[in-house]
Structure 1
Amino acid sequence: MAHEQRSEGYLSPSSDTEDMVLSLVPRLAHFAGVARTEHVTRAAAGMRVPQSTLSRALVRLEHDLGVELFARRGRTVSLTPAGRTFLGSVERALAEIGRAVEEVRADADPATGKVAFGFLHTMGAETVPGLLQAFRADHPRIRFALVQNYGEAMLERLRAGELDLCLTSPVPDAPDLVARRLDEQKLRLVVPADHRLAGRRRIRLAEAAEETFVTLEPGYGLRRITDAVCEEAGFRPRVAFEGEEAETLRGLVAAGLGVALLPPPVFPRPGVVELTVTAPRAVREIGLAWLDGHPDTPPVAAFKRFLLARRGNLLARPAPLPPAQ
């Protein structure tokens, strides 16, 4: 019982302080206004509030704190030492709130706002730069915070409010998310240049059942797709190496350490041959996801419309830039 009483005595000051902070917040600007002018009437006029309202707010503030913040002489006031200490912290808090207001307004500005956009590593070299180039032709001042990661990690950041939109694969199916399929990529079986299958152009995946595979780590969307396609072909892949990035896997294949199911490369990779898989159907779907019920700022809404309008053409290679003059 004694332990429980000590626990209650320990917890209650924290709870009391939190309650006090919630009650003080609306009156902090009133306090700062009077402290700066040292005159209740002038402060009330500057803040466009009735003088009686302002006076009551100050009395209530001092009562809640249990400290006199002002020495009063008629309508003129001066800060006590406690009031001066309190003012320093209040002004820093109000300034921080002001900066926060400016930041969120700037991020929501239709012309110059910000989009937090996540995408798969394999889309970072060419696809996403091309999309951003096309979008900024009509929205040249919108800013982007770009995040490259694997699918599950991006969905976690969506749920945490750190991302507005993300391009991911597989297309998620979750009650708290909205997802739209935008495009798909055919996966190829990548083999070393001196491999027994390197002279082929097409292959049934079952023909690679005895091969050693290099894959992404468990939890990556492409790993789940690889496992599912191999299972459909009638085997479980024998995995020798697991990585975090598709081009690293291509390097492992080039070194003769295995074969891999991968999306097309941005640039041809020496030392490997990429075979079209004829059966089973080996593709990964690319989808756009966002948090259900989460309101869009104007720049996010504009970018979302842009991406959805490119459904079926998302992964098309962008037109080359004109040569420099």
Structure 2
Amino acid sequence: MPIRPDALDQQLVEKIAPGIVLLAALRETHNITRTAEALQVPQPTVSRRLAAASTALGAALIEPSGRGVRLTRAGTILTEAAAEALAVIQAGARQAREEVAPETGHVVLGFLHLLGRSLVPRLLRDFRRSYPGVRFTLVQGSRQQMLDQLRAGEVDLALLAPLPAEDPRLTGFPVTEQELLLSVPDTHPLAARRRVRFAELAEEEFVTLEPGYGLRQIMDGMCADAGFTPRIAFEGQESDTVRGLVAAGLGVALLPHFDPGTPAGVAEVPLTPKVTRTIGLTWPRDQWSTPAVHAFRNHVRTLNDHVK
């Protein structure tokens, strides 16, 4: 009786499976010795498993390249599939481990740079009072970077502004409202004003965050609503850098209040009408959650009123 194709595939998988982790590591190291060191296995074992996988597949997976090696086309295809499979296996192992011991779980939390000053430390401090054994990996970046990492499964939860209503694959809830102010050099004519209309800024030079940041998205939208295109003098990746450029007299910026107080050389002027942004907690709609992730999400929801 002939063997069915799916049975042949199953036999192939069984033969090449021991080499999958090696291929994933080899893609990063391009060197068999460093791969063996990274995985803490003898170098002959690495060579033997790779040779066995190549024999089973009927094609070479690696080839010499200078003093190292590189993946062949077949090796690249197999390695890309292996990376996806390993991510699923790692997620399953993590879920199983935390199901047994949820009090010692792990949460990967992404957030915007600006939120690391007060909101994130406050949420973590309060949560750890009830779950002192939960470990956190904190990932900072732009709004777009956080969205990309959420979709890729690289972070469990992310604190973003604004909430990603444009992506049906993500869900979440609002956590707090944050007022946005006009930051100007303290010698600027607007520094003494009690309030400023955004339309008055049409001739100003702006210092702003790069595209992909939530604040930049909000500022661009406000400029469009006010009927002008912003004159951008400098773009940065850190709000502290933006404030420093404002203090140096290089432009004005749209930023949240600087806590604990306005830095030297900068005046913060409220806008009229008042401008706020919603900061929310976001996660993939269909992604499973470990007990630790679920507990932290519920904690943030419960403390919603206390962090405003």
| Same fold, TM-score > 0.5, yes or no | yes
Question: Offset of 1:237 from its aligned partner?
Answer: 1.5
Pair 1:277 & 2:274 matched:
no
Matches within 5 A, 1:84-123: 105-108=96-99, 109-123=101-115
Q: Structure 1, residues 208-240: CA drift from partner, whole Å, max 9, x if none?
A: 221111111112111010011122233222111
SS in structure 2 at match of 1:137? helix
Q: Residues 172-223 of structure 1: CA distance to partner in whole angstroms, max 9, x if unpaired?
A: 0212111222222111000001111111121112222211111111121110
CA distance in 2, matches of 1:122, 1:17: 54
> Is the counterpart of residue 294 in structure 1 residue 287 in structure 2?
yes
Comparing 305-314 with 117-126, greater Cα deviation is found at: 305-314
Q: Name the amino acid aligned to 1:284.
A: R
Q: TM-score, normalised by structure 2?
A: 0.69
Aligned equivalents of 1:283 and 1:201: distance in 2? 17
Q: How big is each residue's C-alpha offset from its partner over 1:262-299, in whole Å with a ceiling of 9 and x where there is no partner?
A: 011123211000001012x4222111111111111100
* Residues 231-262 of structure 1: CA deviation (Å, up to 9, x unaligned): 22332221110111111110000000000010
Counterpart secondary structure, 2:139: strand
- Paired residues of 1:171 and 1:181 also in contact (CA < 8 A): yes
TM-score, normalised to structure 1, is 0.65
AA aligned to 2:271 is V
How far 1:102 sits from its partner (Å)? 6.8
* Equivalent AA in structure 2 for residue 228 of structure 1: G
Of residues 296, 308, 322 in structure 1, which corresponds to 2:301?
308
Would you say the 8 A contact 1:183–1:313 is kept in 2?
Answer: no
Contact conserved, 2:108 with 2:156, CA < 8 A, in 1?
yes
Q: For residue 220 of structure 2, what is the aligned residue in structure 1?
A: 227
1:167 is the counterpart of 2:159:
yes
Rounded to whole Å, the distance in 2 between the matches of 1:310 and 1:231 is 35
Corresponding residue of 2:42: none
Contact residue 166 and residue 289 of structure 1 kept, 8 A: yes
The residue type equivalent to 1:130 in the other structure is: R
Question: Conserved in 2, the CA contact under 8 Å of 1:229 and 1:282?
Answer: no
Counterpart Cα distance in 1 of 2:145 and 2:93: 30
Q: Which residue of 1 aligns with 2:38?
A: none
Aligned: 1:124 with 2:124 = no
**Alpha-carbon shift at residue 106 of structure 1 (Å):** 4.0
Identity of aligned residues (%): 46
In the alignment, is the contact (CA less than 8 A) between 2:145 and 2:212 conserved in 1? no
Instruction: Render the CA deviation track for 1:85-111: whole Å, top value 9, x for unaligned.
Output: xxxxxxxxxxx9xx9687654455310
Whether the 8 Å contact between 2:95 and 2:290 is mirrored in structure 1 is no
Q: CA RMSD in A?
A: 2.7
CA distance in 2, matches of 1:135, 1:274: 32
**What is the alpha-carbon distance in structure 1 between the residues aligned to residue 9 and residue 155 of structure 2?**
30
Aligned to 2:13: 22
Look up the equivalent residue of 1:110 and give its one-letter code. Answer: P
State the Cα deviation string for residues 91-136 of structure 1 (Å, max 9, x = none): xxxxx9xx96876544553100000100110011221111100111
- Report which of the two structures shows the higher radius of gyration computed on alpha carbons: 1
Task: Give SS of 1:111's match.
Answer: helix
Give per-residue Cα distances to partners, 1:39-92, cap 9 Å, x unaligned.
Answer: xxxxxxxxxxxxxxxxxxxxxxxxx98xxxxxxxxxxxxxxxxxxxxxxxxxxx
Aligned to 1:237: 230
The answer as to whether partners of 1:169 and 1:221 remain within 8 angstroms in 2 is: yes
* Residue number among 179, 184, 194 corresponding to 2:187 in the alignment: 194
Q: How many residues align?
A: 231
SS at match of 2:304: coil
* Secondary structure of 2:103 counterpart: coil
| Structure 1 CA distance for aligned equivalents of residues 221 and 305 of structure 2 | 23
Separation of aligned partners in 1, 2:94 and 2:176: 34
Whole-Å separation in 2 of the counterparts to 1:310 and 1:230: 34
Aligned AA (1:152)? Q
